[in-house]
Amino acid sequence: MPITFDQQHHVFKLDTSVSTYAFMVYQENYLVHLYYGAKLPDTDLSYLMYRGKFDSLSPYNPKVEDLFFSPDIQPFEYPTNGAGDFRISALSVRGGSGDAVTDIRYVSHKIYDGKPSLPGLPATFAQEGQAQTLEVETVDAVTGVKSTLLYTVFEDYPVITRSVRLENGGEAPVVLERAYSSCVELPTMDLDMVHLWGKWWNENNTERRALQHGITSIQSKRGMTGSNHNPFVAFAHPSTTEESGEVWGMNFIYSGNFAIDTEVDTRGTTRVLMGINPTDFRWRLEPGESFQTPEAVLVYSDKGLGAMSRTFHHFYLDHLCRSEWAKKKRPLLINSWEAAFFDFDDDKLVAFAQEAKKLGIEMLVMDDGWFGTRNDDLRGLGDWYVNEKKLKGGLSHLIERVNALGLKFGIWYEPEMVNPDSDLYRAHPDWAIRAKGREHSISRYQCVLDMTRKDVRDNIFQQMYNVLSQNKIDYIKWDCNRNITEAASATLPPERQGEFFHRYVLGVYDLMDRITTAFPHILLENCSSGGCRFDAGMLYYAPQIWTSDCTDPIERLTIQFGASLCYPVAAMGAHVSANSRASVKTRGVVAMSGTFGYELDPRTELTDEEREVVLQQVADYHKYYDLIHFGDLYRLTAPTENPYLADWQFVSPDKNEALFCRVIMRRPPNLYQSVCLAGLDPDKIYVDEETGKAYSGALLMHGGIDLSAYDYANNYDGDSFMKHFVVR
Ligand code: GLA
């Protein structure tokens, strides 16, 4: 059984194939954390709760018969505010008396097979026999608030998911001021923190730095995740590398204001909280009401950052992406945005499709500009009906023409937004988010619709439904090109305005749920000015997310390497565009380590030679689809660590196939005639498909592959190659 409770020592153990997570019910029903790390056979672990000695200023509970126990020191499962623990707290509830002292104690628990869904929220799921769940009920005796801590352990993955259900079991209303989803207590500060920061066009820069005393927070308060900081973090020993050493990876399944707070206390221990950002969060619970926090995903690896990433990748494809497209081969698309921006009509799109067809492309995606009066980005958002001046004869007619060429058809939406210059805004100016008495700021000439309101969601759903149900649409790109300011809802009473941001996210999830339920066969791609909402919450609904508006392959190396720390290659939207100095071949090598597609005018932006390259790329896309999308990714040479080149590799699950990819960014001073592969079977014999030469897996992994024929002197600026190895 992966989850056990040792009655004698009062210890809960959550075991995965490689890890153990343990905590205990201590005296006075405190829930004390004990351990998270490599798998352990023992259950008597209580000594692990002592992390430093009592200070003269440490408060204690006189009912606890243990001189060394103080809330000031002990690691807790779900630390609370104001009752003796002075570190950052996961839960803070302001009760009927007006104070925010919160103190939870164990009441009961249950262990059962399966994984519950979380109402209104994206969350991981499991089929029968794949997971076991522990629910630990606690109560705060004064407010009556019950916190139920949920933990799920997955049979085949070193993964634990966590969330918390809060219920007001008291008689007075309470306000949740902090309600995090998980707390991890690591016994040391000798750790590096790895996280992803960035901005528009420059997402997912990987930063690794040593922990220091004090509090570090990575967060968003934009209303959306943002590209500034991704809700992913990993902690690794300083000696941990890509393929060796311990790592604790954490990711939050949420698309709004999040916070990952790390406190290193003055005893040198580390507390990590992950949850909804408490800034701008106040949630009122009337007696009997409950609140479910979003879900946190914890991955432990004893084989470096690479193994952590591979766990996230496979786990998300198996247990998070609910779309039927998660594991299905997706059509190879061409997108109109960089090819035409707003300047298109039906004939131009059909001409794109005609040319694309010759290249083997399978779907035309009509991006922004097909609706209302949307001839530029100044107007039209909110008016989701076809502009028949542009698409003469209507959308169905256009789709028929595209389908007749043998291509599927996709369409762009930005459902959460409205331009002041739109029919929707003129009819419902109050639907745009603004705080009472204040003007709303404008960003990209647009405002955000109040998605907390059902009437607003109903209107947008109905508009989308009309188009989607009357036309043969195979794909939607769901965009979101601004963040929320002057946040408030006209329909919430003053005491509930603190709920706005989370209610907004719940509203977006509700709309996505309705669309994907009504049209389950449509492939949904998420986007937010590129990768500004690249998170696990979106992955639940959309199996792919546009990774960045930057399509230059050299820049994309850093962006995609960073994203791959947590998110699968199968989720990373990546296209070959005309927007680069690098060769079409290199653009293809990088985009192929993503969902792959094109975003250029196929009539004018490819030379005859480049067309030949594209035909080869399309063949490679089909040949390597499974290997790239469902194989194991190994990051061999990171573009942030080597200024000259980047190397990465895929290995099929049966280890019978491997694909090595290299991009040369600058002319290297060294020869780079070899590189060691990873993840192969040492005893199998692999044949280099290009040269026909055979090597053992052991030789390829320890001696390296033979690149001596490659001439870096002449091919250094954005050149690339792939090498395919197959077991004989
Ligand atoms: C965002 C997206 C682009 C494109 C435009 C359309 O910037 O990231 O891919 O769809 O919007 O306005």
The domain over range 333-630 is classified in CATH as 3.40.50.300: no
Q: How far does residue 342's CA lie from ligand 1's centre (Å)?
A: 11
Q: How far does residue 340's CA lie from ligand 1's centre (Å)?
A: 12
Report long-range pairs for 700-704 (Cβ below 8 Å, ≥24 apart): 700/658, 700/676, 700/725, 701/676, 701/677, 702/676, 703/674, 703/676, 704/674, 704/675, 704/676, 704/677
Give the residue, out of 224, 445, 477, 527, with the most ligand 1 atoms within 8 A of its beta carbon, to mutate for a pocket test. 527
- pLDDT number for residue 716: 63
Q: Which atom of ligand 1 is nearest to the CA of 412?
A: 10
For ligand 1, atom 12, which residue shows the shortest CA distance? 368
Please identify which residue in the block is written with the tokens 């809960």: 12
- pLDDT number for residue 715: 66
Query: How far is Cα 187 from Cα 182, in angstroms, rounded to an integer?
Result: 16
Q: How far does residue 548's CA lie from ligand 1's centre (Å)?
A: 10
- pLDDT number for residue 727: 98
Active site (catalytic) residues: 479, 549
**What DSSP element (H or E) covers 306?**
helix 304-319
Q: Which atom of ligand 1 is nearest to the CA of 527?
A: 8
Collapsed DSSP state (helix, strand, coil) of residue 179: strand
For ligand 1, atom 2, which residue shows the shortest CA distance? 529
Fold for the domain defined by 636-727: Immunoglobulin-like (2.60.40)
Task: Using 70 as the pLDDT threshold, list the residues of the chain that sit under it.
Answer: 715-717
- Copy the structure tokens of residue 433: 């988010």
Fold for the domain defined by 3-319: Beta-galactosidase; Chain A, domain 5 (2.70.98)
Query: How far is Cα 482 from Cα 379, in angstroms, rounded to an integer?
Result: 15
Q: Which atom of ligand 1 is nearest to the CA of 530?
A: 8
- pLDDT number for residue 581: 85
Q: How far does residue 723's CA lie from ligand 1's centre (Å)?
A: 34
Query: How far is Cα 302 from Cα 316, in angstroms, rounded to an integer?
Result: 20
For 6-18, the pLDDT digits (tens) are: 999 999 999 999 9
Q: How far does residue 6's CA lie from ligand 1's centre (Å)?
A: 54
Q: Which atom of ligand 1 is nearest to the CA of 341?
A: 6
Instruction: Say if pTM beats, i.e. exceeds, 0.85.
Output: yes
For ligand 1, atom 6, which residue shows the shortest CA distance? 368
Phi and psi (nearest 5°) for 235? -120, 130
Give the start-to-end residue ranges of the domains of the chain. Answer: 3-319, 333-630, 636-727
Q: Which atom of ligand 1 is nearest to the CA of 549?
A: 8
Q: How far does residue 203's CA lie from ligand 1's centre (Å)?
A: 15
Residues with CB under 6 A from ligand 1: 337, 367-368, 412, 479, 481, 527, 529-530, 546, 549
Query: How far is Cα 381 from Cα 383, in angstroms, rounded to an integer?
Result: 6
Q: Which atom of ligand 1 is nearest to the CA of 367?
A: 10
Q: How far does residue 584's CA lie from ligand 1's centre (Å)?
A: 22
Give the residue, out of 338, 344, 377, 479, with the most ligand 1 atoms within 8 A of its beta carbon, to mutate for a pocket test. 479
Q: How far does residue 665's CA lie from ligand 1's centre (Å)?
A: 27
Query: How far is Cα 265 from Cα 216, in angstroms, rounded to an integer?
Result: 11
For ligand 1, atom 11, which residue shows the shortest CA distance? 529
Q: Angle CA(148)–CA(281)–CA(284) in degrees, nearest 5? A: 60
Query: How far is Cα 589 from Cα 598, in angstroms, rounded to an integer?
Result: 12
Collapsed DSSP state (helix, strand, coil) of residue 687: strand
Query: How far is Cα 269 from Cα 279, in angstroms, rounded to an integer?
Result: 25
In the DSSP assignment, the letter for residue 71 is: T
